[in-house]
Amino acid sequence: MILGSVVDSDVNEKRIAVSLDTVKKCISNGFSVQLEKNFGRNSNIHDSELEKLGTKIVSKEEIYKTSDIIIQINCPNEIEISLIKDGAVLIGSFFPHLNKDKINKLLKKNIKIFSLELLPRITRAQSMDILSSQANLAGYKAVIDSVYEFNRAVPMMMTAAGTITPAKFFIIGAGVAGLQAIATAKRLGGVVSATDVRSASKEQVESLGGKFVFIESSKNLETSGGYAKELDEEDQKKQEQLLKTTIKNQDIVICTALIPGKRAPRIITEEMVKSMKSGSVICDLAVEQGGNSAFSEPGKITVINGVKIIGHKNFPSRISESASILFAKNIFNFLEIIYDKVGKKLKIDENDEIIKAVYINKEIS
């Protein structure tokens, strides 16, 4: 069975979907692996290293036309879809409701599509959870990028010439990305506080050394899947008031709040941005889904009254080597549940709750 992967067509995407480790494991499991030329250039992997493991280096067109299983980061474009052979298996992160037309075209070619961002939040799926592995790195990189743009030292420094006070970090959203941001900011010596609408986040924030700031609500603001719910008008007003008094005293604010399937909630208003000290930094991890902060723009660093608002796209891709290693392992772990190593064939159990969640086999209206 032939397994193939290509360099992503998006110029902003530096990650790859297989690593040296997973190539080795796939070949030992009986796969013939073929990859595009210069496949691992952004992850410091040379074609010669892949070839030593038994990988074939071929053209993108040949990979799509001959591979039984295609692994890639994002949804293929129109030209790529036309090249994929009928009946192939496609595994990656495809966000079907954002790519309806492409998904429907793939289905017309009888492509078996597995989109792993749809994984259920169950223990057995944790090793395949691409959202968590990539969000973890995004939270780390957000702090590193913010500190780079911040024109002061982060930790407290006591010298004969005087004392430098530590930078104050405020993390909005205490999911995977937010918790990693808290941990990273603390390791750098910052004073860290965080907020989340889910009261259950309090213990996690405090366990990492952060101060938890939150609104009191009589409603359950957490979904059954563990995500934050969208706030109603009453709770939005409470949150806005809380943030108004908190944000103006912060040096670095990291925004990580997302609601699955919906536009990112606008949390930081124009007034809040303008209330911050000149030299402060806001990093908006939600910028590609609409943004948590006023003035944030995808792919840009905007400056308002001396406040920098970072809107970098695709934070995991900014540390592509580490992100690729984790993404590739997530994919390989999923591959193991749909591939029979003994019979060297696919075994797709549509009653399995993981398969049921990620398998796209019906057209999207």
Nearest-angstrom CA–CA distance, 54 and 23: 9
∠ CA 207-212-213, rounded to 5° = 175
Active-site position among 10, 32, 68, 121:
121
Active-site position among 28, 126, 127, 241:
126
Contact between 164 and 157 (Cβ < 8 Å): yes
Contact between 113 and 94 (Cβ < 8 Å): yes
Contact between 81 and 102 (Cβ < 8 Å): yes
Active-site position among 187, 227, 289, 352:
227
Q: Would you call 232 a catalytic residue per the annotation?
A: no
28 CB neighbour count, 10 Å cutoff: 11
Contact between 327 and 300 (Cβ < 8 Å): no
- H/E stretch holding 92: strand 89-92
Active-site position among 8, 129, 235, 284:
129
For every residue of 201-232, DSSP letters joined together read: HHHHHHHTTPEEE----SS--B-TTSPBPPP-
Q: Would you call 129 a catalytic residue per the annotation?
A: yes
Q: Would you call 124 a catalytic residue per the annotation?
A: no
Nearest-angstrom CA–CA distance, 321 and 312: 18
Active-site position among 32, 132, 236, 275:
132
Position 265, amino acid: P
φ and ψ of 80, to 5 deg: -65, -40
**Which residues have a catalytic role annotated?**
121, 126, 129, 132, 227
